[in-house]
Structure 1
Amino acid sequence: MHVLISGASVAGPALAFWLHRHGIDVTVVERAPALREGGYCVDIRGVALDVVARMGLREALRPLEADTLENVMVDERGRRFGRMPRGFGVIDPDDVEILRGDLARVLFTATRAQVRYRFGDSVAALRQHERGVDVTFAGGDTATFDLVVGADGVHSQVRALAFGPERECLRAMGSAMAIFTAPNHLGLHRQQLLYSGLRRIASVKSTHGDRDLMCAVFFAHRDDFDHRDVPAQRRLVAAAFADAGWEFPRLIAAMQRADDFYCDLTCQIRLPTLSRGRVALVGDAAYCPSPLSGQGTSLALVGAYVLAVELARSADLSTALLRYDERVLPFVRRNQDIALKLGGGFAPGSPFQVRVRRLAMKLMPYMPGSSLMMKLAMRGIREASRDLELPPPIHAPAAVAPESIAMGTSGQA
């Protein structure tokens, strides 16, 4: 069986890892000229931790984990309050918080010797037929694969080619986000500062041995947005935080120079099925829950594992893809629904709500049972992250002859 994966961030290399382990030939194509190292901290929790353990990569991730000692609230005058232990995204002690680029590098390193990586290229056209999928690459080459998997992010080209326009599956959540690196002029030492203002929030944390600040900002936005127009995105962020006070003038100036700047809408991808014929989707291309959820990476790791197991245990492609849908979609929906609830109140909508939220955070560290209250507040995320029984691993490679890779009648292209 020959599989093409489009995208070399997290979902793509994770899927390539498992496919190779199950004896399936894999090629990964990535639009970027090299592995993309940027990105904010991502979280691995729930059953995704079991996936990482089954990969044998838990120890490889340990020295790369974010070592944040505390998170602290800050207001527009720079006053700090509401100190709480560990990073804000860590719900349980076993959760992994790691920079997206570090996780991508670990996955790439674990697969590059066994998997063909094709950087600086992308999928330009697909033609499905009974024997496979004819792929035309942007560079002009052509090849045929038994299965093509889009792991190319929320604006997936593979999804657009096989499933139709993005507008039919993208659900905007009324806000936008931006991520960038700045020099650590604040002198933070293993700290995360959280700002909550009127219709905007921000997280600023020290990283890379306290050398840099990793900044993530969110702000209300319901107008048109072009994810390809980076200068317009920088202007949008600057306008959203122009009167936010504190250190935002210096942070926005650093944003204008940052070479890792990323900005997009907070949104979800909701599809009724995760495959069309011989084309499947995994990760944000299939089920982005939105960055507000903190669950995107965990869903990607779990989805990649389940898809690989189902492909390995069945010679009938349509049956494997149907089982992938049946296992993963309910899990995805529960996590997406949690994100919708969180997204509805991502930032205060009035000055009164700003004051109430800040007062609550000021009092939280001094309230009896505050840690229990935080656990109860995060219970929905915790339960959703565990709401899937992983299929058992297949230890022996599946020896499937190419001619036996059939499509059932329900999966014909």
Structure 2
Amino acid sequence: MRLDIAQGRLAGITRDVAPDAADERHAVALPGLPNLHSHAFQRSFAGGAEVRGPSGDSFWTWREAMYRAVDRLDPDEIEAIAAQAYVEMLEAGFTRVGEFHYLHHGRDGGAYGDCGELSQRIAAAADATGIALTLLPVFYAHGGFGGQAPTHGQRRFINDVESFGRLMESARHAVSGLPDAVLGIAPHSLRAATVEEIAAILPLAQGGPVHIHVAEQTREVEDCLAWAGRRPIEYLLDTADVDARWCLIHATHMSEAETLAMARSGAVAGLCPITEANLGDGIFPAPAFVAAGGAYGVGSDSNVQIDAAGELRLLEYSQRLALRARNVLAMSEGRSTGEALFAAALKGGAQALQGSGSLTVGAPADIVSLDAAHPSLTGRSGAAMLDGWIFAVAGNAVDCVWRRGEKLVAGGRHRARESVRARFRAALDKIAA
């Protein structure tokens, strides 16, 4: 099969054709996966909260440690950290990232001269590394359900509706020069944004995607029930026009009725299995959701470990552990589990980020090749290649990655790996000083 590329897009796909001498040849080509949920700045904090506290640990104690880490970051460090995360994503087979960006202000909580300074730094990191960007500026106004006052640790995130409108204008300008860039919007959560505020900011998305954290933790569910008398997803679906533009991040703790209602809404479930395991969140009810027609994609969230195949593997393995069964998300007899996972994450991620989800004529040439000589891929073909990559490879079997037809990764290494890594090390040395 020959893929012809012109102006960054697939111009032709020809089957059963002999290669020309000038053709670059690879054994396995896949569409690049979308990473639908990232907090790039948290890459600096990866592995930084793995010491047990005096009374046990949870998501909430991790969050306080993360707030302390945020206090040390300036714009140059944030850009360097984001670039490192994006290099690692490309090397893992992600070609588009949904950056759920909620770090907006200076270390004292004051606005920068340009309120979109840090959105511009995210765009600069995407530009330098070549990853496709869906930027999701986060609206964050409160510290808990019912419009509670934010805490000191949240001071760098906070906007009101008016200041957030200015931030969105700056963010739109920041991504305007990036190829295939998308601007969406992200009310952080029902804890951090009231439904009235969510309704007020939605027009700022101008048709772009809408992402929100919801029902990640059992305490969140309990607090929502105590405040509103309804569970978080029940409350969101009752009070907002949730549709296929929306991506509900985590949605871990749902009743059966919520699971079916979310699937019917058309919203994508944004699953981050590695982070959810690291934080002790819980296990998403995937079989029931998928059986009801629900769409899902995967993201690297806290970037504690950036591994496209690893997210898919842990998604399946968590279901196996919970249900004491195998090949759970294949969903039908005779289907490859790896193929089912990859196809679902590709489709759901593309919907959630409003990016391409296939290698078809006219689509951006975002291509990932696998090393067919890898011991865990040798002798495999078709869907079995995906099974080998997701379930059997130790390390990374991604060989090359093209974004808009430009080769960014060769031999598993991003072309800017060393320079980006040097900036990342310098940034971490500075904040540790």
TM-score class normalised by the smaller sequence: under 0.3
* TM-score calculated relative to the size of structure 2: 0.23
* TM-score calculated relative to the size of structure 1: 0.24
